[in-house]
Chains A and B, each alone.
Chain A
Amino acid sequence: MRSIRHYLLRTLAMTLVVAGGVAVTAAYLITDHELEEILDTQLSLHSRIVAGQLDPNATIDDYARLASRMGLPDHPAQLYRDGKAVPVSRSESGPKLYHEEELKLVLGFWNPDGSPRLLGGKWSDAGPFPAPLEEGFRWESYDGHRWRVFSMFDVASDTWISMGLRGSFHDEVVERITWNNLLPMLLLLPLLLWLMSRIIRRGIAPIHALSSQVQGRSARDLRKIDNPVPQELNGLRQSLNDFIARLKATLERERRFTADAAHELRTPLAALRIHLDNAQAGGEQSLQKAYVGVERLQRVVEQLLILARLDQVATTSPATIDLYPIIAELVAELWPLAEERDQYLRLIGLTRLEVRADEVEVGILFRNLLDNALRYTPEGGQVEVELALWEGLPQLTVSDTGPGLPEALLDKVTERFRRASGQGTTGSGLGLSIVSELAQRQNAHLTLSNLTPNGLAVSVTWEQNQHQNR
Chain B
Amino acid sequence: MRALLIEDDPLLGDGIKTALEREGYAVDWFMLGREAISAIGSEAFSVIILDLGLPDMDGMQVLHLLRQQSTLPILILTARDAMEDRIGGLDAGADDYVLKPFNLKELLARLRVVMRRAEGRASQILTLGALSIDEARHAVSWRGKDVKLGRREYALLLELARHPDRVLSRPRLENLLYGWGEEVASNAVEVHIHHLRKKLEKHLIINVRGIGYRLDSQAQ
| A contact set with B: CB distance below 8 Å | 259, 262-275, 277-278, 281, 283, 286, 289, 292-293, 296, 419-422, 424, 426
Contacts and interface: CB of A to CB of B under 8 A. Distances in A.
15 contacts: A263-B79, A264-B79, A266-B99, A266-B100, A267-B9, A267-B100, A268-B12, A270-B15, A271-B9, A271-B15, A275-B18, A419-B55, A421-B32, A421-B55, A422-B32
Which of B15, B101, B102 is packed against the most chain A CB atoms within 10 Å?
A: B15
Contacts of B188: none
B11 A289 contact: yes
A281 B19 CA distance: 9
B55 to A, nearest CB: 3
Given A274-B18, A275-B15, 5 more contacts: A262-B79, A263-B80, A274-B16, A289-B11, A426-B10
What band does the interface of chain B fall in when counting residues whose beta carbon is under 8 Å from A? Answer: 20 to 34
A419 B9 CA distance: 12
B27 to A, nearest CB: 13
B14 interface: yes
A263 B104 contact: no
B79 A283 contact: no
Contacts of A296: 11
B18 A286 contact: yes
Nearest to B82: A259
Interface string B73-104: 00001011110010000000000000111111
A268 B19 contact: no
Given A277-B104, A419-B55, A421-B56, A270 B12 contact: yes
A422 B11 CA distance: 14
B79 A292 contact: no
B101 A269 contact: yes
Nearest to B103: A273
A272 B101 contact: yes
A420 B31 CA distance: 13
B159 interface: no
A271 B79 CA distance: 12
Interface string B1-42: 000000011111011101100100000000110000000000
A270 B102 contact: yes
A273 B104 CA distance: 8
Task: Point out which of B12, B81, B82 has the most chain A C-beta atoms below 10 A from its C-beta.
Answer: B12
B101 A289 contact: no
Contacts of A278: 15, 18-19, 22, 104
B102 A420 contact: no
Contacts, number: 91
A269 to B, nearest CB: 4
B164 interface: no
B88 to A, nearest CB: 12
B102 A273 contact: yes
B212 interface: no
B19 A274 contact: yes
Contacts of B100: 263, 266-267, 269-270
A274 B81 contact: no
Contacts of B32: 421-422
A266 B56 CA distance: 19
B101 A275 contact: no
A253 to B, nearest CB: 15
Contacts of B103: 273
Contact of B15 (A263, A289, A420, A421): A289
A426 B11 contact: yes
Nearest to A417: B53
A273 B101 contact: yes
Given A274-B12, A286-B15, A426-B10, A267 B53 contact: yes
B12 to A, nearest CB: 4
Contacts of B79: 259, 262-267, 270
A198 B56 CA distance: 64
**Which of A264, A270, A426 has the most chain B CB atoms closer than 10 A to its own CB?**
A270
Contacts of A421: 8, 32, 54-56
Nearest to A268: B11
Given A269-B101, A422-B31, A281 B11 contact: no
B15 A281 contact: no
Contacts of B19: 274, 277-278, 281
A274 B15 contact: yes
Contacts of B8: 421
Interface string B149-168: 00000000000000000000
Nearest to B11: A271
Contacts of B55: 419-422
A273 B100 CA distance: 10
Nearest to A275: B15
Nearest to B12: A271
A373 B56 CA distance: 21
A267 B18 contact: no
A293 B11 contact: yes
B53 A263 contact: yes
Given A263-B53, A263-B80, A424 B104 contact: no
B82 to A, nearest CB: 7
A112 to B, nearest CB: 120
A442 B121 CA distance: 64
A270 B99 CA distance: 9
B101 A292 contact: no
Given A262-B80, A274-B19, A286-B18, A267 B56 contact: no
Nearest to B10: A424
Output the residue of B16, B54, B100 with the most chain A CB within 10 A: B100
A259 B81 CA distance: 8
Given A274-B16, A421-B55, A262 B9 contact: no
A346 to B, nearest CB: 29
Contacts of B54: 421
